[in-house]
Chains A and B, each alone.
Chain A
Amino acid sequence: MFFAALRLGSFLGSVLVFFAALLIFRAVKNKAAIVLMVGAVLATFGPLCSFLLSMFAIGQLGMETYGMITLVTNGVGALGWLLVGLAVMMLAPLVSGLARRNRELDEILAGRN
């Protein structure tokens, strides 16, 4: 139960990242937003499958099959988080640039007024 709760926590985290990706995609339609969205979907898939398997299907599956599925879902989840990391890395300079441009525009407008 404890491990199922942990997987559910990771799943909720990746759902939040997916919402973040949607928001960013609406604001700036760029590569970082698409990578973030793909990463969030993959990161959601891993813990969700793991959670569902651990809750409902352990009894029906043999240990070997269960181990193999867990390995694949862990791999997909890890890949998803790596993509999220890459996307956040791409996004940070963009946000930094936007903040700098805003300060510049504010200064120009203050100078004119």
Chain B
Amino acid sequence: MDRIAHTSYWLVSWGRTVYGPVMSYSHSVMDFLFSLVGLLAGGLMVVAGVVAVIALRNIASMVLLVGALLGLLNGLFWALFPFLQSGGLVEPGSGFFMVMRLLGSFSWIVTAVGVLLLALAASGLRRQNQALESIMAGSQTDRVA
């Protein structure tokens, strides 16, 4: 517990140091840390998507990869948002801001569909695997007989 408390304190202090100069009413330090968590989640899913594309080469893995890439892009935008805002590049409520919010929600739906398709693929592969194993076991029994 002490370690968690210490890490949380360190993270918030670090967030304040990085984020303090550009902090605005619409975005707090915690929002910045959450966007970093989203960025990390997106990164993990991109790696998983690449592994799945290499192994399966099917639509499920590609949908997962596209969703993960969109999620990563969205996480990156939110992590950089205060800096972009302080530089006058993006304003809350502007068209680009709304598109990025929409992209954030859309990316999670695409990723979720990718995960669901991957789950279906895993389930099908497992069943096929069991069927093949039982055929193998059956043919071995026939040979012994």
Contact = CB atoms under 8 A, between A and B. Distances in A.
A26 B123 contact: yes
A interface, by DSSP: helix, strand, loop or mixed? helix
A9 B44 contact: no
A96 B122 contact: no
A92 B105 contact: no
B41 A81 contact: yes
Contacts, number: 150
A101 B127 CA distance: 12
Given A79-B37, A88-B44, A105-B136, A23 B129 contact: no
Interface residues of B, number: 50
A96 B111 CA distance: 18
Contacts of A16: 109, 112-113, 115-116
Interface of B: 28, 30-31, 34, 37-38, 40-45, 47-49, 51-52, 54-56, 64, 98, 101-102, 104-106, 108-109, 111-113, 115-116, 118-123, 125-129, 132-133, 135-136, 139
Interface of A: 2-3, 6-7, 9-10, 12-17, 19-21, 23-24, 26-28, 36, 71, 74-75, 78-79, 81-82, 84-86, 88-89, 91-96, 98-102, 105-106, 108-109, 112
